[in-house]
Chain A
Amino acid sequence: MKRNNKGFVIVLVLVVGAVLSIMVAAYSLSVLYRIQIATRYINSTKAYYLGSAGIEYMRYLYYTDPVNSPLSLTFSITPEGDDIINVRREKRDDVMIIEGEARINNVTRVVVCEEEHDPALYNLRRTYFTYGYPKDKARRMPIIKWK
């Protein structure tokens, strides 16, 4: 009996150690996952406002000079210059669609503005919505702004 006790203690310690290690590893992974989600949310928020900035600037160019304003633009607006904004506009029937795609810290987001089209009246009904990325695989998010 005495001879078996030592082996039993070793096995018990190893089993308890293994269980504790798995618990610690699982906890660590869950914390890392939450950090990753939070970081993604932060970058996604930044990308959303950058995409909106692209739309706003394209609208500005269009309404100040409808004839000569560009159909697409690429630029950067953060002081650090770590963002890329691509804006495109096109007209479908009477609706002008402006799409601002912004990328920052490896997160891309697309913001779209659909606007009833009339160069003389800038303040018509506008509908904004946004996508994750890539756009064709992402769910269309609820309308976020209506003016």
Chain B
Amino acid sequence: MEIKVKKMNKKGFTLLEVLVASLILAVVGSGIAGVYIMEERLFVRTLHRLEAVNYARGALEKLLALTGGDLEVALKEGDHTDPEICDLPDGHFKERFKGALSYRVDEFKVSEITNAKRIEVIVKWQEKFPKKEDKKESLVTVLSFLEIVMD
């Protein structure tokens, strides 16, 4: 047995040793590659969520900055896609991932008093990898309509 080991060492690696080592390397490597790919995918998806929330934030700020008649028109109950508020900038999110922004207004009341409006800005897009999947992010706030009431 001792002689065999010495002989093996002198010759270097046997075919069996190389095959076993390759197999171990392949198993470990594919595991690491799998984790890497999964993380990259998750990271890209998170970036898309981030981008969507930032677009929603921009639209919501535009809405909150409106006054008077413009505000009244913008806050009519229902779904809205007014280009001035809802247009996304040209780029990969709009074109490649079919990003679209809209907002919904409905009546909101906690007590019996009404006339406050709930605004939900919704950004939808389509993830491409590993399969096509519809995604959505939204920001919700309340606008009291106080200015119109007090006028």
Say whether B139 contacts A46, CB under 8 Å.
yes
* Segment of B42-50, B72-80, B94-102, B124-132 in the binding face: B42-50
Residues of chain B contacted by A2 (CB below 8 angstroms): 9-10, 12
Q: Which of B57, B138, B144 contacts A57 (CB 8 A)?
A: B144
Q: Is B23 an interface residue (CB 8 A)?
A: no
A12 CB–B CB distance under 8 Å: no
Kindly identify which residue among B6, B12, B147 contacts A5, using a CB–CB cutoff of 8 Å: B12
Contact (Cβ within 8 A) A53 B146: no
Known A-B contacts A2-B9, A41-B50, A42-B50; the reply to A77 vs B140 at CB < 8 A is: yes
| Complex: A45 Cα to B58 Cα, angstroms | 12
Q: How many residues on the B side are at the interface (Cβ–Cβ under 8 A)? A: 41
| CB-defined contacts of A63 to chain B, threshold 8 Å | 146, 150
Cross-chain contact A6 with B12 (CB below 8 angstroms): yes
Q: Are A38 and B50 in contact (CB under 8 A)?
A: yes
Of A28, A75, A78, the contact of B35 (CB 8 Å cutoff): A28
Name the interface size band of chain A: 35 or more
Least CB separation from A36: chain B residue: B46
Of A31, A45, A50, A83, the residue contacting B57 (CB under 8 A) is A45
Partner of A3, one of B6, B39, B47, B146: B6
- Complex contact A38–B147 (CB within 8 A): no
Name which residue of chain A comes closest to B144, CB basis: A60
What 0/1 pattern do residues 37 to 52 of A give for CB contact below 8 A with B? 0110110011001101
Q: How far is the CA of A60 from the CA of B149 in the complex (A)?
A: 10
Which of B35, B116, B141 is within 8 Å of A49, CB to CB? B141
Q: Is the Cβ of A77 less than 8 Å from the Cβ of B36?
A: no
Q: Does A134 contact B (CB under 8 A)?
A: no
Q: At the interface, yes or no: B60 with Cβ under 8 Å from chain A?
A: yes
Q: Which of B50, B113, B120, B145 contacts A65 (CB 8 A)?
A: B113
* 24 intermolecular pairs with C-beta atoms under 8 Å apart: A3-B6, A21-B32, A35-B42, A35-B43, A38-B50, A42-B49, A42-B137, A45-B139, A49-B60, A50-B140, A53-B142, A54-B142, A60-B115, A60-B116, A60-B145, A60-B146, A61-B113, A64-B113, A64-B149, A70-B111, A77-B142, A78-B120, A79-B120, A83-B140
4 additional contacts (CB under 8 A) given A28-B35, A38-B49: A24-B32, A45-B139, A49-B60, A77-B142
Q: Which residues of B contact A (CB under 8 A)?
A: 6, 9-10, 12-13, 21, 32, 35-36, 39-40, 42-43, 46-47, 49-50, 53, 57, 60, 108, 110-111, 113, 115-116, 118, 120, 137-147, 149-150
